[in-house]
């Protein structure tokens, strides 16, 4: 790990700043003297930031599913502060329901927020970051960007798509001096389980046993303190060579080692079939 990149005070643009990780990181940046364009769907939820940090914070109403609104917010932040150093795609929510239960409308809405919304932000900021010749785009994925849990398969799939987009982006923008990092938290005691971050599909009785078992397992997860993540994010944005991926939490790496070991085992068991299929 190399650091620290000197370009202070930095200017941050953060989606979903009203609560959870977005709020924690916005406050961490402001507390050290950086400037933040904090966005949320409900502008009133950012009033305390505006009152406390005055000219160092610009609060903006933003629904990431509205592309024109995204462009307006990015332009407003850039014009206000004169630059953008750090852009964090944090807005998102989870859809609870089996693959059979979720409606097409619910799936589309999830992807509008979790996948297409971040893309809209990326496309809006890139011309500005290229013009600057620097910048750092971070995105909040999940340890579920590498594995799945039943009942939230569509949420997991949105994070798998998110990961692919960001990994491709990292290679594409590296020549322009722009860094890319995917943040992959495990279970944390945020408001992510609240009604505003969790939506439920209709439930079929055939999945009741599965639903009960999964919910019981989730209740027993060891959840991290979201406030403890601030120092990690500050280290990443200050690093001269930030990582493409950063897991947050103490249990993720052990679980992901098992996930990938199982995948490799199955691929190896079927390798003769794969080779024969080459033709």
pLDDT digits (tens, 9 = 90+) for 71-81: 999 999 999 99
- Contact predicate 19/191, CB 8 Å: yes
22 lies in the same domain as 158: yes
In a domain, 21, yes or no: yes
Q: pTM for this structure?
A: 0.92
- Average pLDDT rounded to a whole number, residues 155-180: 97
pLDDT at 1: 42
**In a shared domain, residues 164 and 276:** no
Provide the CATH number for the domain around residue 64.
3.40.50.720
- Report the number of distinct structural domains present in the chain: 2
180 and 209 together in one domain: yes
Residues 203 and 279 in one domain: no
- Same domain flag for 103 and 200: yes
Q: Are residues 225 and 129 both part of a single domain?
A: yes
Output the pLDDT for position 194: 47
pLDDT score, position 4: 46
Whether 87 and 126 share a structural domain: yes
Same domain, 221 and 268: no
Residues 188 and 264 in one domain: no
Residues 267 and 156 grouped into a single domain: no
In a domain, 3, yes or no: no
Mean pLDDT of 209-219: 89
Q: Is residue 5 part of a domain?
A: no
Q: Do 136 and 224 belong to one domain?
A: yes
Catalytically active residues are: 141, 155, 159
Residues of the domain holding 181:
11-248
Residue 196: the pLDDT is 53
Q: What is the tens place of the pLDDT at every residue in 123-166?
A: 999 999 999 999 999 999 999 999 999 999 999 999 999 999 99
Average pLDDT, the chain: 93
Establish if 214 belongs to a structural domain.
yes
């Amino acid at each position: 790990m190399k650091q620290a990149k000197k370009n202070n005070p930095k200017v941050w643009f953060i989606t979903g700043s009203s609560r959870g990780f977005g709020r924690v990181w916005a406050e961490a940046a402001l507390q050290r003297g950086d400037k933040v364009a904090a966005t949320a769907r409900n502008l009133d939820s950012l009033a305390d930031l505006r009152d406390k940090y005055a000219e160092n914070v610009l609060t903006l109403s933003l629904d990431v599913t509205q592309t024109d609104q995204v462009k307006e917010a990015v332009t407003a932040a850039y014009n206000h502060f004169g630059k953008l150093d750090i852009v964090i795609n944090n807005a998102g929510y989870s859809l609870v329901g089996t693959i059979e239960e979720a409606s097409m409308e619910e799936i589309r809405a999830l992807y509008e927020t979790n996948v297409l919304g971040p893309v809209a932000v990326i496309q809006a900021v890139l011309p500005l970051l290229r013009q600057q010749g620097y910048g750092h785009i971070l995105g909040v994925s999940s340890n579920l960007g590498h594995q799945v849990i039943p009942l939230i398969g569509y949420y997991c799939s949105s994070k798998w798509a998110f990961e692919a987009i960001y990994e491709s982006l990292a290679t594409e923008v590296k020549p322009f001096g722009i860094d890319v990092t995917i943040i992959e938290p495990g279970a944390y005691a945020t408001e992510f389980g609240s009604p505003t971050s969790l939506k439920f599909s209709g439930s079929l009785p055939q999945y009741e046993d599965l639903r009960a078992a999964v919910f019981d397992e989730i209740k027993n997860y060891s959840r991290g303190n979201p406030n403890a993540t601030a120092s990690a994010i500050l280290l990443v944005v200050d690093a001269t060579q930030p990582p493409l991926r950063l897991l947050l939490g103490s249990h993720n790496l052990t679980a992901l080692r098992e996930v990938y070991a199982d995948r490799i085992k199955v691929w190896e068991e079927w390798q003769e079939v794969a080779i024969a299929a080459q033709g």
